Amino acid sequence: MSKIIYTKTDEAPALATRSFLPIVKAFVKSSGINIETKDISLAARILAVFPDFLNETQRVSDDLALLGELAKKPEANIIKLPNISASIPQLKAAIKELQSQGFNIPNYPDEPATAEEKDIKSRYDKIKGSAVNPVLREGNSDRRAPKAVKNYAKNNPHSMGAWSKDSKTHVATMDYGDFAHNEKSLTIAEPTSIKIIHTDNEGNETVLKDSFNLLKGEIIDATVMSKKALINFFEAQVADAKANGVLFSLHMKGTMMKVSDPIIFGHAVKIFFKDVFAKHGATFNKIGVDVNNGFGNIIEKIQELPEAQRNEIQADIDAAFKSGPAIAMVNSDRGITNLHVPSDVIIDASMPAMIRTSGRMYNAEGKLQDTKAVIPDSSYAGIYSATIDFCKENGAFDPTTMGTVPNVGLMAQKAEEYGSHDKTFEIASNGKVTVVDANGYKLIEHAVEAGDIWRMCQTKDAPIQDWVKLAVNRAKASNTPAVFWLDENRAHDAEIIKKVNTYLKDYDTTGLDLRILSPVDATLFTCKRLKDGLDTISVSGNVLRDYLTDLFPILEVGTSAKMLSIVPLMNGGGLFETGAGGSAPKHVQQLLEENHLRWDSLGEFLALAVSLEHFSEVNNNEKAKILGETLDEATSKLLENKKGPSRSAGELDNRGSHFYLAMYWAEELAKQTKDAALKAEFTPIAEKLAQNETVILKELTEIQGKPANIGGYYEPNEALVNNVMRPSNTLNSILEF
């Protein structure tokens, strides 16, 4: 039987699914739709790679690998919830929790010495960071705010901090020596295989990556971030933040750019605490501090030291905070700074949140303050400075009148930076890095110094063709101007522009407004239209896809969780993502403390509706179409009646919101006349749900306000978590139809 695959992930989205999925299963059961769950949570992904450390009953299948294969087949219909892209601190926490539950998995070896340790580390490194999305995203991305969501925001605008012309907030980015300035790129004329080689100044060669194949028409690019330039830059920015009385904040993508960005993050920590490192560097080395895991790693490791020594270091840290600029805080109550953990501040969400808050971030006193947003690499930083300048000049955007910016993003087959993980290297010694082809011909060469970060990306031709097609189709379907965010002065973009111009000729584009603008010009063009209430499609590469699908949604509708996020898979299947946001760890914390889950599953409702529609088309199943249409109606009604989760305990939360969705969905199915059987089935269900509204709501709210026990963070206990997420017996029994 054809099926829809539902992913089990982590944190808030996974909790929410425990409440929502039983509703979905009950509703689609009679329509010949099978729902199957696949576990791609961080915990499951860890267990899947260590069968040799587990007993028979503990072993799990590698569901991510299975789904990766499925995503390449036409029958794929996958609902993908946001998952943790784990930083090392998160990975270690998950390992510890699994060990405490009796899973005999090995520790993460920070400095592997033996062959066995090296093997363990390499298994863990495959799980680290953004390890799920690049595997499943076998198509390009189509993200937009549905009309109902946009209308809801227009009628119920979220808060939007005012912007003043005298705001001191600004973006600081490098003007030499970074990835942007050192990029080289070319298009491969004929299939070949290449190697990446480092040669030191004595002529000793090290193969960084052995032969791998490139296809005809594939674009490759390579670049290097100079450690010296980076350090000079950080030093200047720390001093400037201090001199100008603004907060110092660093915005990276340590999860998605899992090799390069933690190294850059580590340099920032070392510069911010320069004096502390000068004095205690040797001790830190001895106790195994790894600043790439954040300043929090120092705090954790010094706990092992004798008290006197610990106090001395702590005093020097305090002195560094005092003498340095004020630093932006992740949680001022708990003293968690912007430099504590590389996965706490993630640029796609952090910059828009700051822009929504008048360009301010929290300082150590828990007050909002103007900020220096440090974004070292200048490839994409300009879009944020342009947006900030626009807000300074024109004031904040108004959600009641602003337009919308859908995105068509290039990401299929590990396009661009997504594919750089196994081709990113921290350089061991001065010399050069060369990309050579099968004939020994040098394709790209860079002079490098020890500590530089060199990386290479690949972008295959077929995904580019598909992306151009998707852009044209979206522009036509919505009659909206579309802008390709590409900079003719950037080596990689110049290669892409050639292909865009070629492939656009395959389509009849008469009457369409299609342009190619540099990211900064595209920002200005788009922001101006946005302010005037006009819509503009952004057609972008992979990193800008990520940035823009948080930036504009957060400004327009308050969160990217409400986005329709579709990945039309290149082989005909469909991957339906639930919103464009992440997994908001603080939501789990609130559930544990006061049994209230404010996670909004709207993205999941939207994704399921399109998944059902896709299912109906592929399987010629009219009932699936009706289920999808009625679900969309129910979602609109949910928005109109404001039945989304509230932020505080004792009020409607995620579970209550699911109840309303179920009730409205049943009502819509009872109302429709296209399918008599569905009508007959759901008429009594709708009645029962409506009749029991008061008692169900009571059951769903009276449990709130007290701590909840789910028996684990990364691997909760199934029975406990299901109890917590399904506390209404009345609702549960109605769903047993």
Ligand X SMILES: O=C(O)CCC(=O)C(=O)O
Ligand Y SMILES: NC(=O)C1=CN([C@@H]2O[C@H](COP(=O)(O)OP(=O)(O)OC[C@H]3O[C@@H](n4cnc5c(N)ncnc54)[C@H](OP(=O)(O)O)[C@@H]3O)[C@@H](O)[C@H]2O)C=CC1
Binding-site sequence positions for substrate: 130-137
126 close to 114: Cβ distance less than 8 angstroms: no
Residue 487 found at the interface with ligand X (CB under 6 A): no
| Direct distance between the N- and C-terminal alpha carbons of the chain, in angstroms, rounded to an integer | 21
Exposed/middle/buried for residue 564 (C-beta within 10 Å: 0-12, 13-18, 19+): buried
For residue 251, the minimal CB distance to Mg ion (Å) is 13
State the pairing for strand pair 77-80/3-8. parallel
> Binder to ligand X among 9, 41, 77, 85 (CB under 6 A)?
85
For residue 548, the minimal CB distance to ligand X (Å) is 10
For residue 539, the minimal CB distance to ligand X (Å) is 16
User: In terms of CB distance, is 495 or 600 closer to ligand Y?
Assistant: 600
CA distances (Å), 331 to each of 90, 272, 561, in order? 17, 19, 22
User: In terms of CB distance, is 7 or 549 closer to ligand X?
Assistant: 549
For residue 585, the minimal CB distance to Mg ion (Å) is 15
Exposed/middle/buried for residue 663 (C-beta within 10 Å: 0-12, 13-18, 19+): buried
Site string for Mg ion, 517-546 (x = CB under 5 A): -----------------------------x
d(CA 569, CA 577): 12
Q: Which residues contact 365 (CB under 8 A, 6 or more apart)?
A: 332
Task: Name the helix (H) or strand (E) containing 110.
Answer: none
Q: Which two tokens stand for residue 173?
A: 């980015």
Residue from 408, 422, 406, 384 nearest 466 by CA: 408
Residue 371 found at the interface with ligand Y (CB under 6 A): no
542 close to 460: Cβ distance less than 8 angstroms: no
| 559 interacts with, out of ligand Y, Mg ion, ligand X, none, CB within 5 to 8 A per kind | ligand Y
Residue 546 found at the interface with ligand X (CB under 6 A): yes
> Binder to ligand Y among 22, 352, 568, 581 (CB under 6 A)?
581
Residue 412 found at the interface with ligand X (CB under 6 A): no
User: In terms of CB distance, is 338 or 583 closer to ligand Y?
Assistant: 583
For residue 419, the minimal CB distance to ligand Y (Å) is 17
User: In terms of CB distance, is 546 or 632 closer to ligand X?
Assistant: 546
d(CA 355, CA 362): 13
User: In terms of CB distance, is 217 or 585 closer to ligand X?
Assistant: 585
With CB under 6 A, what is the number of residues at the site for ligand Y? 20
User: In terms of CB distance, is 133 or 434 closer to Mg ion?
Assistant: 133
Residue 344 found at the interface with Mg ion (CB under 5 A): no
> Binder to ligand Y among 342, 582, 628, 716 (CB under 6 A)?
582
> Binder to ligand Y among 599, 660, 682, 714 (CB under 6 A)?
599
User: In terms of CB distance, is 219 or 580 closer to ligand X?
Assistant: 580
Residue 42 found at the interface with ligand Y (CB under 6 A): no
Q: Which residue is nearest to Mg ion (CB)?
A: 348
- For 260-304, the DSSP string reads HHHHHHHHHHHHHTHHHHHHHHHHHHHTT--GGG-THHHHHHHTT
d(CA 333, CA 325): 19
- For 170-224, the DSSP string reads EEE--SSSSHHHH-EEEE-SS-EEEEEEEEETT--EEEEEEEEEE-TT-EEEEEE
Q: Which two tokens stand for residue 633?
A: 């109606």
Residues making up the binding site for NADP(+): 80-85, 133, 582-583, 587, 598-600, 647
Instruction: Select from 216-224, 341-349, 415-423, 687-695 the region that touches ligand Y (CB under 6 A).
Output: 341-349
Phi, psi values for residue 460, rounded to 5°: -80, 160
Residue 417 found at the interface with Mg ion (CB under 5 A): no
User: In terms of CB distance, is 346 or 543 closer to ligand Y?
Assistant: 346
d(CA 519, CA 521): 6
> Binder to ligand Y among 84, 171, 276, 609 (CB under 6 A)?
84
Residue 549 found at the interface with ligand X (CB under 6 A): yes
* Local structure of 130: helix, strand or coil: coil
Residue from 160, 207, 167 nearest 359 by CA: 167
Residue 348 found at the interface with Mg ion (CB under 5 A): yes
Instruction: Select from 63-71, 101-109, 317-325, 597-605 the region that touches ligand Y (CB under 6 A).
Output: 597-605
Q: Which residues contact 116 (CB under 8 A, 6 or more apart)?
A: none
Residue 83 found at the interface with ligand Y (CB under 6 A): yes
- The neighbouring-strand residues paired with 435 are 196, 444
d(CA 522, CA 285): 46
613 close to 564: Cβ distance less than 8 angstroms: no
Instruction: Select from 153-161, 220-228, 525-533, 582-590 the region that touches ligand Y (CB under 6 A).
Output: 582-590
> Binder to ligand X among 133, 140, 260, 701 (CB under 6 A)?
133
Residue 130 found at the interface with ligand X (CB under 6 A): yes
Residue 256 found at the interface with ligand X (CB under 6 A): yes
User: In terms of CB distance, is 409 or 451 closer to ligand X?
Assistant: 409
Q: Which two tokens stand for residue 279?
A: 């004095």
Our measurement of the distance from residue 197's CA atom to the centroid of its chain's CA atoms, rounded to an integer in Å, reads 32
Q: Which residue is nearest to ligand Y (CB)?
A: 582
Q: Which residues ranging from 338 to 367 are in contact with ligand X (CB under 6 A)?
A: 348
Count how many residues are written for the chain.
737
d(CA 156, CA 151): 8
Residues making up the binding site for D-threo-isocitrate: 143, 545
Radius of gyration of the chain (CA): 26
Our measurement of the distance from residue 357's CA atom to the centroid of its chain's CA atoms, rounded to an integer in Å, reads 21
User: In terms of CB distance, is 411 or 670 closer to ligand Y?
Assistant: 411
User: In terms of CB distance, is 343 or 616 closer to ligand Y?
Assistant: 343
Residue 616 found at the interface with ligand X (CB under 6 A): no
| 704 interacts with, out of Mg ion, ligand X, ligand Y, none, CB within 5 to 8 A per kind | none
For residue 580, the minimal CB distance to Mg ion (Å) is 6
Residue 255 found at the interface with ligand X (CB under 6 A): yes
Residue 417 found at the interface with ligand X (CB under 6 A): no
Residue 133 found at the interface with ligand Y (CB under 6 A): yes
Site string for Mg ion, 542-571 (x = CB under 5 A): ----x-------------------------
State the pairing for strand pair 141-144/564-568. antiparallel
Residues making up the binding site: 80-85, 130-137, 143, 348, 545-546, 550, 582-583, 587, 598-600, 647
Residue 85 found at the interface with ligand Y (CB under 6 A): yes
d(CA 402, CA 526): 11
User: In terms of CB distance, is 138 or 348 closer to Mg ion?
Assistant: 348
User: In terms of CB distance, is 330 or 612 closer to Mg ion?
Assistant: 330
- The neighbouring-strand residues paired with 141 are 409
d(CA 658, CA 602): 10
CA distances (Å), 140 to each of 120, 198, 243, 666, in order? 33, 33, 44, 34
Residues making up the binding site for Mg(2+): 348, 546, 550
d(CA 555, CA 577): 20
Q: Which two tokens stand for residue 101?
A: 């539950």
Residue 255 found at the interface with ligand Y (CB under 6 A): yes
| 734 interacts with, out of ligand X, Mg ion, ligand Y, none, CB within 5 to 8 A per kind | none
- Point out which residues bind ligand Y (CB under 6 A): 82-85, 133, 255, 343, 346, 349, 559, 561, 579, 581-584, 586, 598-600
- Point out which residues bind Mg ion (CB under 5 A): 348, 546
- Point out which residues bind ligand X (CB under 6 A): 85, 130, 133, 255-256, 348, 546, 549, 580
